[in-house]
């Protein structure tokens, strides 16, 4: 989780690159509870769950996801041209970015909850090539070796533009959180400016 206390923003890349481990990133209370239930009853994999921080987000509906079907992303809102893959705590930021894209660019972006930080949904990512030009990844952790780089690597030999957002590999315990968000472009306004630069380029 990106924060300025004890530098915990670096803990996505560590467990997500351990063989056989499954690392989950819940976006709501219901997802978190369902993941816990699955993790404590299955016997095939060691499981890590990225504990949500900040305000509790609840849908009020039980999560019925079958988490044994590994690396299946959830397309929460289908659009075109731009896809936002927003993991865990940053799913809410992804929703804000989607709204800002609609307001400023008139584009109905696709919003995706990746669920898994240890693998990618190749079928879904391939499908985005048909009607998307830009993919944005949002993660509350260090970019180097993180989730977003897996997406960038997947699209490496294609025309898809990928923008990765997260933290840099640095000590930030004495830096205010607002300053970090500005430094890493983790605001809807700054992300929109980056998109405009890509489109304009």
pLDDT in tens, 150-177: 999 999 999 999 999 999 888 888 889 8
Residue-level pLDDT at 11: 66
The domains of the chain are located at 8-54+70-200
CA 59 to chain centre: 19
Q: For 125-142, what is each residue's pLDDT tens digit?
A: 999 999 999 999 999 989
Tell me the pLDDT tens digit for each residue of 5-48: 434 445 676 777 888 999 999 999 999 999 999 999 999 999 99
Q: Which span out of 14-23, 48-57, 83-92, 192-201 was modeled with the highest average pLDDT?
A: 83-92
Other beta carbons within 10 angstroms of residue 59's beta carbon come to: 11
CA distances from 117 to 50, 102, 172 (A): 9, 27, 23
Task: Return the biggest CA–CA distance within the chain.
Answer: 50
For the record, the structure tokens of 59 come out as: 């849908």
The reported pLDDT for the residue numbered 6 is: 38
Instruction: Quote the tokens at residue 83.
Output: 């896809």
Q: How far apart are CA 178 and CA 61, in angstroms?
A: 32
Helices 188-200, 91-105: crossing angle, 10 deg rounding? 50
Q: Which CATH number is 8-54+70-200 given?
A: 3.40.50.920
């Amino acid at each position: 989780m990106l924060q300025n206390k004890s530098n915990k923003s670096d803990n996505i890349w560590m467990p997500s690159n351990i063989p056989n481990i499954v690392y989950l990133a819940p976006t709501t209370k219901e997802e978190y509870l369902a993941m816990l239930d699955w993790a404590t009853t299955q016997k095939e994999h060691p499981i890590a769950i990225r504990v949500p921080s900040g305000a509790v987000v609840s849908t009020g509906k039980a999560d019925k996801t079958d988490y044994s079907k590994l690396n299946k992303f959830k397309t929460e809102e289908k659009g075109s041209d731009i896809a936002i893959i927003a993991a865990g705590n940053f799913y809410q930021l992804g929703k804000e970015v989607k709204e800002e894209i609609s307001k400023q660019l008139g584009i109905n972006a696709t919003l995706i909850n990746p669920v898994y930080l240890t693998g990618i949904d190749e079928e879904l990512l391939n499908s985005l090539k048909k009607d998307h030009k830009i993919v944005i990844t949002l993660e509350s952790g260090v970019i180097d070796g993180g989730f977003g780089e897996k997406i960038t690597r997947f699209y490496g030999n294609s025309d898809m533009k990928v923008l990765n957002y997260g933290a840099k590999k640095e000590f930030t315990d004495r830096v205010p959180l607002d300053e970090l968000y500005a430094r890493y472009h983790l605001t809807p306004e700054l992300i929109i400016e980056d998109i405009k630069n890509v489109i304009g380029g």
